[in-house]
Amino acid sequence: MLLRARERAAELGCPAVLPGAGALLSVVAAALQARAVVEVGTGTGVASLWLLRGMPSDGVLTTIDAELEHLRAARTAFAEEGVAPARTRAIPGRPLDVLPRLTDAAYDLVLVGGEPHAYADHVAEALRLLRPGGVVAVDGALHGGRVADPARRDEVTTLVREVGRSLRADERLVPALVPSGDGLLLAVRR
């Protein structure tokens, strides 16, 4: 079913999490026994399915996307995978309109994907949402290897690099950058 979701992602021009990072998201969700997870940027549901695979069967994934066509594809992927409807809340809307409505310190894991221009704002919201011991994950943290190359100073690379820097400098967090997929930046909230 992941394969179909990935094919739909290609059809809709919406890049999906790469398998290495997806598998790691499952492992992190399982290690945290994550019952409450937020995903910013649902796409066609590829990362959502990886997360759901790692979460306990009573865990609920809240996933947000402004593109209705993407959310529709994700809902199809969840149904194909046999995910019980009560396990997902797929919310249409701009994440910065939706995230402030979610409860402080109530979530085990927040995945920030979506749009690099909004990463910094989404990470700030994620930190508010996480319980102590919870994890924020930023997908695409290597941005095709460009983040690690100091000669690359285009706008998106600089934005993604800056998000990594700010997470590493944040005293509230214990960060780790894992070079799986396109780079998964994980940071545990103390």
Beta strands at 88-92 and 107-112: parallel, antiparallel or unpaired: unpaired
Q: Is 115 in the site for ligand SAM (CB under 6 A)?
A: yes
Distance CA(32)–CA(161), nearest Å, equals 27
Distance CA(161)–CA(141), nearest Å, equals 7
Q: Is 183 in the site for ligand SAM (CB under 6 A)?
A: no
Q: How many residues does the chain have?
A: 190
Provide the minimum distance between the beta carbon of 61 and ligand SAM in the complex, in angstroms, as a whole number.
12
Beta strands at 60-65 and 36-40: parallel, antiparallel or unpaired: parallel
Q: Do 80 and 1 form a contact (C-beta atoms < 8 A)? A: yes
With CB under 6 A as the contact rule, the residue among 1, 30, 118, 178 that binds ligand SAM is 118
Question: How do the residues of the chain divide into helix, strand and coil, expressed in percent and rounded to 5?
Answer: 45, 25, 30
The interface mask with ligand SAM, positions 34-63, x = CB under 6 A, is ------xxxxxxxx----------------
Q: Which is nearer to ligand SAM, 54 or 95 (CB)?
A: 95
Interacting span for ligand SAM (CB under 6 A) from 65-73, 101-109, 171-179, 182-190 = 65-73
Q: Say how many residues touch ligand SAM, by CB under 6 A.
A: 23
With CB under 6 A as the contact rule, the residue among 70, 75, 161, 189 that binds ligand SAM is 70
With CB under 6 A as the contact rule, the residue among 8, 34, 108, 114 that binds ligand SAM is 114
With CB under 6 A as the contact rule, the residue among 1, 4, 35, 67 that binds ligand SAM is 67
DSSP secondary structure string for all residues of 130-167: EEEEEEEEEETTTTTTTTT-TT---HHHHHHHHHHHHH
* Binding region for ligand SAM (CB under 6 A): 9, 14-17, 40-47, 65-67, 70, 95, 113-115, 118, 139
